[in-house]
Amino acid sequence: MKICIVTPYVIKSDGQGRANYEIVLEAIRCNHQVSLVTRKIEPDLCDNPLIEFVSLTVDKFPTELLRGIIFAQKSARWLQSHRHKFDVVLACGAVTDAASDVNVIHFVHSSWLRSPSHTWKIHHNLYGAYQWLFTALNAYWEKRSLLKTKVVVAVSDNIKCELSEIGVSRDRIRVIYNGVDLDEFTPLSSDRSQFGLPDKVCLAMFAGDIRTNRKNLDTVLKSLVNIPNLHLAVVGNTERSPYPELSKQLGISDRVYFLGYRRDVAKIMQAVDFFVFPSRYEPFGMVVSEAMATGLPVITTAVSGVASIITTECGIVLADPEDGKALTDALMKLTNDVDLRVNMGKSARTVAEQHSWRVKSEQYIHLLEEFC
């Protein structure tokens, strides 16, 4: 089978990029030929004889919005000339103006635009206006792309519902949850000192984009004020992030450790006691399932797609991401009960083992083989 995958990234360190990477690995394990029309791929894929890397460079353009527009145009032109070579074309969202056979949806921009937590509705400034324009245009292109594809893959049940709300018929939607690397994310112990983290304290972890309000770190920091024996490790790019300053204003900066963007997230997870991720809008939340695979109890919200795999034995799912008291109670519960954390962590690993990347990528390949 000859497969073409159109997507900005095929890399391990990006949520959507990781899913693409695992699909490619399974495809070449099955001896399929894969052409990757992309901006960046993982180095270990570059020299494989079954993989063709079609690099579409757009990094010289000044904003991610403009880079996305140019990428979609370039990929469409390339497909127009080469589409006849492939048995199946897989795209990821509004990444090309050309038609695809399968379109994998990791994020529904129309739903985020309607959310009361959208950045524009909270920050009426130039940055907020840019975020509105970015989301609104992507919502429009997203709907247009979905009209040009045969099968739509939703990475969670939440996304399936959101796709139905914008007019995608349910009989065209398949649900394939995102997976987790059970070897990289595994219950081992890491020395906290290598990350500059304190020993002999209860240490929670948060990881995600902390430059906007969507991941809801602000509510976590405000809850931390009421739990003086809890410390927090934060992984995420701090450039233009308001949260280091917020932690100072709240008087908790001595208990919050901003570690910046990291590629060793799995090792940091092995050094903490539990994971908190009360996102305001999250199509899946792969970082939560990775924490579960590491053997950590998790706290997240019902709006996160990953919530559908979390049982009461392994985590706490909050009904409302804005409910600061409920989050504080959940944090306090895990902070003060070591035995509960241990038991929940074991259950979390058991659940994660049912969602390996190998299982998920096999589902993708079976779907693509239907077009042959």
Report DSSP letters for 251-285, one per residue.
T-TTTEEEEES-S-HHHHHTTSSEEEE--SSBS--
Q: Which of 271, 313, 315 is nearest to 289 (CA)?
A: 315
Largest CA distance in the chain: 63
Tell me if residue 330 falls in helix, strand or coil.
Answer: helix
Give the DSSP per-residue string, 149-188: -SEEEESSHHHHHHHHHTT--GGGEEE----B-TTTS-S-
Q: Which of 233, 235, 215 is nearest to 304 (CA)?
A: 215
What pLDDT does residue 123 have? 83
Q: Which two tokens stand for residue 108?
A: 């529904």
What pLDDT does residue 14 have? 82
Mean pLDDT by 10 residues, the chain (372 residues): 97 90 97 97 94 95 95 96 97 95 96 91 89 96 95 96 94 96 95 95 96 94 97 95 96 97 95 97 94 98 95 97 97 98 98 96 97 88
Alpha-carbon distances, residue 204 vs 107, 113, 187, 237, 298 (angstroms): 27, 30, 16, 18, 10
Contact 146, 204 (CB under 8 A): no
Q: Which residues have C-beta within 8 Å of that of residue 172, sequence separation ≥ 6?
A: 150, 151, 152
Q: Which of 226, 354, 252 is nearest to 293 (CA)?
A: 354
What pLDDT does residue 114 have? 93
**CA separation for the pair 122, 238 (Å, rounded):** 20
Give the DSSP per-residue string, 180-191: B-TTTS-S----
Would you identify the CATH topology of the domain 2-179+356-369? Answer: Rossmann fold (3.40.50)
Contact 254, 229 (CB under 8 A): no
Q: For the CA atoms of 264, 266, 271, 277, what is the dihedral angle to 10 degrees?
A: 110
Checking DSSP bridges between strand 230-235 and strand 151-154, what pairing results, if any? unpaired
**CA separation for the pair 249, 243 (Å, rounded):** 10
First to last CA, the chain: 7
| Domain residue limits, the chain | 2-179+356-369, 192-352
Length of the chain: 372
**CA separation for the pair 268, 263 (Å, rounded):** 10
Instruction: Give the right CATH number for 192-352 from 3.30.70.20, 3.40.50.2000, 3.10.129.10, 1.20.1090.10.
Output: 3.40.50.2000
Alpha-carbon distances, residue 318 vs 215, 289, 307, 310, 324 (angstroms): 14, 16, 9, 11, 10
Q: Which of 285, 265, 236 is nearest to 107 (CA)?
A: 285
Contact 330, 320 (CB under 8 A): no
**CA separation for the pair 212, 243 (Å, rounded):** 9
Q: Which two tokens stand for residue 103?
A: 């379109």
Domain 2-179+356-369 and domain 192-352 have a common topology: yes
**CA separation for the pair 328, 224 (Å, rounded):** 7
Exposure letters 177-194 (e unless 16+ CB within 10 A, then b): bbbbbbeebeeeebebee
What pLDDT does residue 95 have? 95
CA torsion sign for 188, 190, 195, 199 is positive
